[in-house]
Structure 1
């Protein structure tokens, strides 16, 4: 029995884990019964049975081979494959070729469609590769610096997959839609990429606050800010600032204004005059610490803090100060 083997041609080799077609040419007078594949001299797989055709003057057919994923046993590099063809009487022929098996990262990213008020975001990336993988993040085609280097563990730790959390600083980006592209590069410089789109939405928040006066001499202060439409006195929402526990101290709460458990976006507040009331909570009756002047969200200036009544320092700002995952 004469057997010739033709493997798929590629400049880089064969991507491990993918199904490929092996072309086999056989000259034999009996009906072919089976095909077995050996990898580096060891049995590896029983291939689909050869077709029932007349090979007495030669025939050619393709056998599908599910290539192995790379692991501690099968590593990236050159390997010998041997295909053994046999008939029902036990007569066999074989042919061998060398193939280069290599791995490419498989990567996916999980992120919400919109991030409201979130400037620091822990994005979850799923990676699969036999070697170690490093991640690069691009936003709108610009490389985004992360707060530290993130890398998967090599070997079986990312087989079939592993999960990486990467903290991205999105605060410098403009409000609106952006594309996040993730490129995974393994130890052999093979790469893969994936992308997702996200909308970044600014909010109004309490950046800095200090109050004065002895509002609750028997316990810590419990302070929140109520937000109103300055023209209609319609209540819009509130921002709790539990960090404020004493007077004459400057706090940086980065507290968002919310209503019905939903964060209020800056866009919802644009084109209207607003005002805030600073309240000290009391079991019997809340105390008004200060009634603030009218303002609009687009003219806020962090370099000019508000000061009114018993509020000696208040900075309201728009942006994305929150962390999310």
Structure 2
């Protein structure tokens, strides 16, 4: 039987309208029953949770929005309700496979818990700007049907001694209480080398606190995603804390085609010279290529054209290349 704390937690989650937390606790009870040899009861509980989730998914009523952070957390977390899944993200097969494994472990975390194992939940995304790290975090939330909370580093990091670590404690307490995907974007601002010459004692304390918080056991198994454009700036001790480090790269020729095609709707694009387009897109990120294709479509619509040509796309890609060159020249 479940204990009083589990019953209390279930009642609180129900009162707050947090269905996923309610189901999570129910699955923990099922895991405990299975460990004690009562597998029929465990299977009945899991089946009841699956039925409840399915009923919620097809309910004709208006869905209840994810609860937004309140109180001290209001300025620290931005809620984003994901509308994308992995099928919407163009990634190399190897990256998709590793993400699929993390998603499977999260979906079947009750099975793992029954055998004393925890699902992978601490992921580090590294790669150049615009390579799909943030969108992949959104897709992770979309696949798991969880809210995505983006930690606002400008609100987290302050110049007052002890305040940043205290705010970080609030964020991690929320990860232990509410099941969701939590994204630390531009993570190098928190996870920089403790021996960096421009470091201060306060940021060393913050990093040490982060390392400690990462080790805490979590009943919610909330995925923690850290993303950075500068992995070389990260403290080496962090790498041991992550369950997986996934590298994002600039798109291959095949991915360039996929990104362009995905962003040319609703116009037609017969007989495009793909080799020319791929050459024009070389060195650009997925985000830049997507924006170039989108701009080509908007220009065609305004010109009352119903199809896109190769020069339409390459001209916009050239504009993106020029923007990148201009930015590099200033820095």
**Superposition TM-score tier, normalisation by shorter sequence:** under 0.3
When normalised by structure 2's length, the TM-score is: 0.23
Would you tell me which structure has more strand in proportion to its own residues? 1
Higher RCO by CA contacts (8 Å cutoff, separation 6 or greater): 2
TM-score (ref. length: structure 1): 0.23
Larger Rg: 1
Instruction: Report the structure, 1 or 2, having the larger helix content.
Output: 2
